[in-house]
Amino acid sequence: MKIFFKDSLLSLFLLQSAFVFANSNLEVLEIQKQSKYQINKEFPGILLPYEQSKLAFQIPGRLELVYVDIGDKVSKGQVLAELDNSEITAQLNQAKASYNLSSQILSRFKDLREKGHISIQDLDKAQSDYQASKAMKEFYEVKLNQTKLIAPFNGIIQERFYDTGSVISGAMPILEILGTDYVEAHVTIPLNVSNDLIVGNRYSFTLNDNNVEARFTRISPMSKSGTESKLAIFTFDNFYTPGVIANLKLSIEQFKRGVWVPFKSLSQSDQGLWTIYTLENNKVVRDIVEIIYFEDEYAFIDGTIQNGDLVILGGASKIVAGKVINSQ
């Protein structure tokens, strides 16, 4: 009879065959020791938006229009709100008129200077007036652009602080926006585990009962929980709701010699040790073993057992050490 075991721990059993002994109804497992085993661990992390900003105007004024509200999706470059721009528009028009006049005067003075009709000081004065009027025009063009609140990235409006007609000062937040291109998971993990993570590699998470992958992007120098752990940051390709818990699933390789056996084949002994029963020349032998790690219904053990030993799967419930088993 062949017995199949789960193999999610990277080939738990390199060579393990089970047999049923006639007249005894015992199942035995031929074992082979391994040089390493894997521990499957989950570390909870919280999803946070990769980008999150409180948006404010750079200049004071009266809110003329607010185009969006809480929950609205917006695109990068989209106008979200505007200030009353009537005063700045008038100042810009005046600056443009001055600029156009100074430009014409400068052009005329250049012709007159070439013909020797004006002094170089007069030309320098015309050049200076032109530069000043150009700078003033550009200044009010910038100010006019600052009356518009622009979305800095694709996102969703998280909060709206003021409504149309409100008089605000510069730097007062008007809207809060969360980026929706992708999110990050912030996971606190032990220092010895974080050292095995490779930047750029993809790792598995469970999120809302689904398996998804995220790319390991960076790690902070220190976690909030202390120096014995680090804050690892993973980036998802898709957008998921911020604030949700995502569990990082890691298989951690441990280099220690031993063998996987079903937990039901073990019996508890003294001083934290365990016993396992094997067959040697059809005779039941009691071996002392140590449980190194266990997961689900299996244990990774080491002790007096050797390669090729036949482990009795039923444990001590139906056998007596020293009993001879008929294999015919």
pLDDT tens, residue by residue, 114-145: 888 889 999 999 999 999 999 999 999 999 99
Cα gap 312→262, rounded to integer Å = 10
If DSSP codes are grouped into helix, strand and coil, which group holds residue 156? strand
CB 27 within 8 Å of CB 3: yes
Of 8, 155, 12, 7, which is closest to residue 72 (Cα–Cα)? 155
CB 34 within 8 Å of CB 14: yes
If DSSP codes are grouped into helix, strand and coil, which group holds residue 121? helix
What topology is assigned to 18-34+257-318 in CATH?
Answer: 2.40.420
Share of residues in the chain with pLDDT > 70 (%): 86
**Amino acid, single-letter form, for residue 272:** G
User: Hey, what are 1's tokens?
Assistant: 């009879």
Residue 43, pLDDT above cutoff 90: yes
Cα gap 275→321, rounded to integer Å = 11
Residues 6+ apart with CB under 8 A from 2: 17, 18
Q: Name the H helices within 181-328.
A: 191-194
Give the HSE-up count for residue 145: Cα atoms under 13 Å, Cβ half-sphere: 7
The burial of 26, by beta-carbon neighbours within 10 Å (0-12 exposed, 13-18 middle, 19 or more buried), is given as: buried
Residues in the chain: 328
Indicate where the chain has its CATH 1.10.287.470 domain(s). 85-146
**Per-residue confidence at 279, pLDDT binned at 50, 70, 90?**
confident
> At residue 315, what are phi and psi to the nearest 5 degrees?
75, -155
Task: Name the least confident of 106-110, 146-150, 291-295.
Answer: 291-295
Cα gap 143→83, rounded to integer Å = 11
Instruction: Tell which CATH architecture fits domain 42-50+182-254.
Output: Beta Barrel (2.40)
Residue 269, pLDDT above cutoff 60: yes
pLDDT in tens, 284-312: 888 889 898 888 888 999 988 888 888 88
**CATH number at 85-146:** 1.10.287.470
Of 76, 60, 308, 42, which is closest to residue 166 (Cα–Cα)? 60
Indicate where the chain has its CATH 2.40.30.170 domain(s). 42-50+182-254
Residue 276, pLDDT above cutoff 60: yes
The burial of 123, by beta-carbon neighbours within 10 Å (0-12 exposed, 13-18 middle, 19 or more buried), is given as: middle
CA max distance for the chain: 129
User: Hey, what are 44's tokens?
Assistant: 């909870």
**Amino acid, single-letter form, for residue 38:** Q
Indicate where the chain has its CATH 2.40.420.20 domain(s). 18-34+257-318
Cα gap 102→94, rounded to integer Å = 12
User: First vs last Cα of the chain: how many Å apart?
Assistant: 15
Give the HSE-up count for residue 95: Cα atoms under 13 Å, Cβ half-sphere: 20
Residue 322, pLDDT above cutoff 60: no
Cα gap 296→251, rounded to integer Å = 15
Residues 6+ apart with CB under 8 A from 117: none
pLDDT of residue 320: 52
Residues 6+ apart with CB under 8 A from 12: 5, 6, 37, 260, 298
Cα gap 324→210, rounded to integer Å = 51
Report the chain's mean pLDDT, rounded to a whole number.
85
pLDDT of residue 159: 95
pLDDT of residue 16: 43
Considering 88-102, 216-230, 288-302, the range whose residues carry the highest mean pLDDT is: 88-102
